[in-house]
Structure 1
Amino acid sequence: MKKKQIMLMILLVLLTLSISDSFVRASEVNRNLSVFNSVVNQTNVDAPKIDTIYNGDTTITGVLPKEGLTDEGVTIPIIGYTSAAWLTLNGKTYSNDAKNQLFNYKIVKLEDGSYAFTFTLPDGLSFKTGDKLNRFLIPADLPEGTPQLSQKFSSEVTVVERVVSTVTVHYQDINGNPLSEDKVLTGNVGTNYTTEQKSIDGYTLKEVQGNATGKFTDQAQTVTYIYSKNKVAGGDVTAKYVNNEGNTISEDVVKSGDIGDDYATEQKTVDGYTFKEVQGSAIGKFTDQAQTVTYIYTKNPVLGGDITVKYVDTKGKTISSDVIKSGNVGENYTTEQKTIDGYTFKEIQGVAIGQFSDQAQTITYVYTKNIDPTPTPTTVSPSKYNLPTEVTKTLPQTGENPTFTIVASIFGSLLLGIGLVLSLLRARKIK
């Protein structure tokens, strides 16, 4: 009995020594691992970026990093993602040891060197509103000889209800006028959108107002592409300055510019003239056609020299009163021919119709004197008709008054006629 107890005690001592030795060894191993981990250099890779996940989705999409960074600050390029994935959904973890055996995912390398992925859920799973993707990871493939991988899991993502939003894209000139039809983009809140610049004839893109690329939000968004019109030389605008008759009174002014640009013409101050009106658009825009703007002026009145109209005979003697006409320089004048008793119009000396000037002018109407006819006296022999000698003595003498001469002639003719009748009667009696 004592021997058995002794043997049991010996076994207990040996077992205790063995356990103590194991603890000592384990502690040593842990200490060595701790030292190893603190010394070994690692390649640190950021977590994947996960796109918004919606109710009913069966895939996870996002972007994986293109490179890692060692503890020593050395950049290590990632050569791909082909290892087994890991995810935790609603607290349940799904993973596999062999490369890409359990999960189905596709990796596409982007132009910037990062990797886009599309990951399909296992076992026919689909996301529901409120589900939580606790963790997600696709391990990176590093070049041989690089420090071991230390990669972060994604942040937790909550599944949301699918909400559609819009982004409206406008294409306008610098004045806000539309140049092309608007384009409306639709997508789920949280998904990416990209707008595009249009090529518009005659215009060059100036700026973009709003985010040309971004994510749909729960608010409608607007992106405006603004274009400036290409410069094209327009037709000249000529400003003319004329009087009422259309005669130029100042030099033309020619303005040049591009189609669509503004122009403005100016009213001039012209000596001796007053502005009357403008014909055409004094201000406007250059077009592809030449334009003319005409400023019309009225000449200011200036008192001209008098026009004196004279009426004379051929010897220059005045036979009627002068007529004086007055007016402003440049105004028209007319003179009139008079009817003057005893005279006949012969000619005009000077300009009968013309314009007042700054000098006095004279117009002379010349007339010739009318000649009155003188009656020829009739001589009758007194002896033949036995007329009294006194009759012949009463005939008018040359140079006497014309009126008296005419009366005397008539009276004499009557006496002569009476004497003739008496002589005839007397002759018949004698026979």
Structure 2
Amino acid sequence: MEEYKKIIPGYTINEAKLPTHTQGVFSTSEQDITYFYTKNKAGAGNVTAKYVDTDGTPISGDVVKAGVIGEDYTTEQKDIPGYTFKEVQGYVTGKFTDQPQTVTYVYEQYKDKSTVLVHDSELTVGDTWKPEDNFDSSTDYYGNTVPFSNINVAGQVDTTKSGTYKVTYRRFVPNFFSASENQGTYSAIATITVKDAQPLKGGDITTKYVDTDGNALLEDVVQTGNIGENYTTERKEFDGYTFKEVQGNATGQFTNQAQTVTYVYTKNEIPNLIGTVIVRYVDTDDNSISEDVVKSGTVGESYITDKKVIEGYSFKEVRGNISGQYNEQPQTVSYVYVKDEVGSESGTNNNVKDEVGSESKTHSKTSNKRTALLSEHALPKTGENERMALVNSTIGAVLLATGLLVYVFRFKRVNK
């Protein structure tokens, strides 16, 4: 029989009470072997509470707590003068363990919130004034309100006459004093302006913007104000012009007389640029049916294009601007024509059969003369297109009828 001595966590075997027969031989009767253990005493754990600022610098002494492992612990947040609590790092409460634990309380240092706030004001001669009128508020280091009774005021305002007065509002704090105006940390200065009850209106200030020939480049700017008040004028920039000079006082004061300030500019020289317009005469397939006409001129000048009468074609439409101005980029105007069908007015005289003979040639010449005559007038006036169409139709009908009569007459003679 083997020895049955065991190791039990948290307990220590009692060596003084070990059994005498830890080993032996199994038998038919029961045998008892007893080992005695003593419970171990609980170990001690500790928790350290630290108090630091945002930079990790200690601002109060550590608090160390110790206790039996497994027992509860708790830590406390402190009130530390000059600091405000921000956050805690670690477990505020928990249980002691066999490992040291740290709980860190982090604090922010108070920022100086001292202020003295005042405002400027304007008064009219005869008005009343007291120091509280320009005082807004004041706070101490921690941001607490400071009453006006704790503010020292230096300076007076004489409302019986016009003038500018400065009044200083101070809150004294040892080693902290600032004399900045309008908004300081521990002092501030208010500016009180007393004006005449009825200011006198001054003459207008008229600002002109002209070229060297006196032509206005911009509408006049008129300013109004009271005598003694300051005025200022503004120089402007204009495309295509260069500032040359200012005539009069660009800045000054209103007086009892009207004043004029004139800004003079020189026009920049621009070299003449030539633009072109290409006039094309094409059919509906964009094939040229007459020689192009190229027009040129100075950029900015006007141009106009002409429509042609082209034998065998009828005008359909124009693509582009018939008239306009030359610019730096080439422009194209296309007059589009539709080819006349066989038997139409334009093509009838040329398609008359040979049997007509000399009459056919005569008609053809007549038609050609008419076409040439029409080509001299490119753009008919309003209504002329309709009249020309009527004339053409009439002439065509007469020629056709004449040709048919001649043909019939000859046909009859041949058949006799």
Q: TM-score, normalised by structure 2?
A: 0.28
Q: Which one scores higher on RCO, CA 8 angstroms, separation ≥ 6? A: 1
Find the structure with the greater CA-based Rg.
1
Q: TM-score, normalised by structure 1?
A: 0.27
